[in-house]
Structure 1
Amino acid sequence: MNRSIRTSLSAALFSALLLASISPRCTASEARETPMVRAVKRAKPGVANIHSKKTAFAGDSLFSTRKGREVNGMGTGIVIDPRGYILTNHHVVNGVDSLRVTLEDGASFDAKVISFDRKHDLAVIKIKSSRSLTTVPMGTSSDLMLGETVIAIGNAFGYEHTVTAGIISSLSRDVEVNEKQSYEGLLQTDASINPGNSGGPLINLDGEVVGVNVAIRAGAQRIGFAIPIDEARRITAELLSVEQLNHHYHGLQAKDHKSAELREMIVSAAQSGSPAEKAGFKKGDVVIKAAEVDVIDRADFERALLGRSVSDAIEVVVRRDDETSTLSLTLSELGSKRISAKKTTATVVSSKRSVESVGESWKTFGFRLTPLPKSERQLVGDQYRGGLRITAVRPDSPAARNGIRSGDILVGLHIWETVNHENISYVIDHPQLTSFDPLKFYIIRGSETLFGYLHLAR
Structure 2
Amino acid sequence: MKKFTKIIIIGLLTITLSACNENKTVCDCPDDVPNKDQIVLEISNQITELYEQKIDETVTVTSKNGDGYSLGSGFIFHSDNEFVYILTNSHVITDEENIEVLFSDQIRVSAEMFNKSPENEEDIAVIKTKIDPKYTYKKATLGDSDESKVGELVFAIGSPLVIEFRGTVSSGIIAGKNIRVTDRYFDRYMTMIDVSINPGNSGGPLYNLQGEVIGMNTLKSNPDPNNPNNYLNFAIPSNHIKLVIKSFFDMQSYTQPKLPITYVEIPELTLQQRINYNISDDITSGLFVVSYDSSKIGSPIDVITKINGVEIIRGIDYINELNKHQPGEGVDLTVMNRDGLSAPRIQRVTVVANG
What TM-score results when the alignment is normalised by the length of structure 1? 0.44
When residues 435 and 173 of structure 1 are mapped into structure 2, their CA distance, relative to the original with a 3 A threshold, is: closer
Structure 2 counterpart of 1:135, which letter?
K
Distance 2:100 2:189 in 1: 31
CA shift for structure 1 position 32: 8.7
Spell out, residue by residue over 1:317-372, the C-alpha distance to the aligned partner (whole angstroms, 9 max, x if none).
xxxxxxxxxxxxxxxxxxxxxxxxxxxxxxxxxxxxxxxxxx998339xxxxxxxx
When residues 125 and 103 of structure 1 are mapped into structure 2, their CA distance, relative to the original with a 3 A threshold, is: same
Structure 2 counterpart of 1:120, which letter?
E
Alignment of 1:51 with 2:66, yes or no, is: no
- What residue in structure 1 maps to residue 45 of structure 2? 34
CA shift for structure 1 position 435: 8.8
When residues 215 and 38 of structure 1 are mapped into structure 2, their CA distance, relative to the original with a 3 A threshold, is: same
- What residue in structure 2 maps to residue 72 of structure 1? 69
Spell out, residue by residue over 1:41-90, the C-alpha distance to the aligned partner (whole angstroms, 9 max, x if none).
232211110111123xxxxxxxxxxxxxx131100111111331011111
Preserved contact between residue 63 and residue 95 of structure 2 (Cα < 8 Å): no
Give secondary structure in 2 for the equivalent of 1:34.
helix
When residues 134 and 175 of structure 1 are mapped into structure 2, their CA distance, relative to the original with a 3 A threshold, is: same
Paired residues, number: 220
Give secondary structure in 2 for the equivalent of 1:156.
coil
- What residue in structure 2 maps to residue 268 of structure 1? none
- What residue in structure 1 maps to residue 245 of structure 2? 236
Distance 1:91 1:457 in 2: 18
Structure 2 counterpart of 1:437, which letter?
H
Structure 2 counterpart of 1:237, which letter?
K
| Alignment match of 1:135 (pick from 120, 133, 139) | 139
When residues 128 and 71 of structure 1 are mapped into structure 2, their CA distance, relative to the original with a 3 A threshold, is: same
- What residue in structure 1 maps to residue 210 of structure 2? 206
Distance 1:136 1:31 in 2: 24
When residues 455 and 199 of structure 1 are mapped into structure 2, their CA distance, relative to the original with a 3 A threshold, is: farther
Moved over 4 A (4+): 30-33, 433-436, 454-458
Distance 1:436 1:176 in 2: 22
Structure 2 counterpart of 1:37, which letter?
T
Q: Identity across aligned pairs (percent)? A: 27
Structure 1 counterpart of 2:63, which letter?
S
Spell out, residue by residue over 1:88-131, the C-alpha distance to the aligned partner (whole angstroms, 9 max, x if none).
11111144541110111111110111111111111110111213
Structure 1 counterpart of 2:110, which letter?
D
| Alignment match of 1:160 (pick from 149, 163, 166) | 166
Distance 2:249 2:232 in 1: 31
Preserved contact between residue 148 and residue 168 of structure 1 (Cα < 8 Å): yes
Distance 1:156 1:174 in 2: 25
Distance 2:130 2:208 in 1: 29
Greater relative CO (CA pairs within 8 A, separation 6+): 2
Alignment of 1:186 with 2:190, yes or no, is: yes
Segments of 5+ residues of structure 2 without an aligned counterpart are 1-40, 223-227, 254-292, 299-320, 330-350
Distance 2:294 2:181 in 1: 30
Distance 2:43 2:178 in 1: 33
- What residue in structure 2 maps to residue 114 of structure 1? 114
Structure 1 counterpart of 2:218, which letter?
V
Alignment of 1:438 with 2:326, yes or no, is: yes
Structure 2 counterpart of 1:244, which letter?
Q
Distance 1:440 1:80 in 2: 31
CA shift for structure 1 position 160: 0.6
Distance 1:438 1:146 in 2: 31
- What residue in structure 2 maps to residue 92 of structure 1? 92
CA shift for structure 1 position 133: 1.5
Two-structure CA RMSD over aligned residues (Å): 3.1
Preserved contact between residue 63 and residue 94 of structure 2 (Cα < 8 Å): no
Preserved contact between residue 49 and residue 102 of structure 1 (Cα < 8 Å): yes
| Alignment match of 1:172 (pick from 158, 171, 178) | 178
Preserved contact between residue 154 and residue 173 of structure 2 (Cα < 8 Å): yes
Preserved contact between residue 167 and residue 189 of structure 1 (Cα < 8 Å): yes
Spell out, residue by residue over 1:402-448, the C-alpha distance to the aligned partner (whole angstroms, 9 max, x if none).
xxxxxxxxxxxxxxxxxxxxxxxxxxxxxxx979723489xxxxxxx
The residue correspondences of 1:318-397 to structure 2 (distance < 5 A) are 362-363=296-297
Alignment of 1:123 with 2:125, yes or no, is: yes
Segments of 5+ residues of structure 1 without an aligned counterpart are 1-29, 56-69, 246-358, 365-432, 442-453
Structure 2 counterpart of 1:98, which letter?
N
Structure 2 counterpart of 1:186, which letter?
M
Structure 1 counterpart of 2:132, which letter?
S
- What residue in structure 1 maps to residue 235 of structure 2? 226
Preserved contact between residue 147 and residue 169 of structure 1 (Cα < 8 Å): yes
CA shift for structure 1 position 171: 0.7
- What residue in structure 1 maps to residue 282 of structure 2? none
Give secondary structure in 1 for the equivalent of 2:91.
helix
- What residue in structure 2 maps to residue 430 of structure 1? none
Give secondary structure in 2 for the equivalent of 1:203.
strand
Distance 2:206 2:172 in 1: 10
| Alignment match of 1:150 (pick from 138, 151, 154) | 154
Give secondary structure in 1 for the equivalent of 2:147.
coil
Preserved contact between residue 216 and residue 235 of structure 2 (Cα < 8 Å): yes
Structure 2 counterpart of 1:223, which letter?
L
CA shift for structure 1 position 140: 1.1
Give secondary structure in 2 for the equivalent of 1:136.
coil
What TM-score results when the alignment is normalised by the length of structure 2? 0.56
Distance 1:105 1:90 in 2: 24
When residues 223 and 435 of structure 1 are mapped into structure 2, their CA distance, relative to the original with a 3 A threshold, is: closer
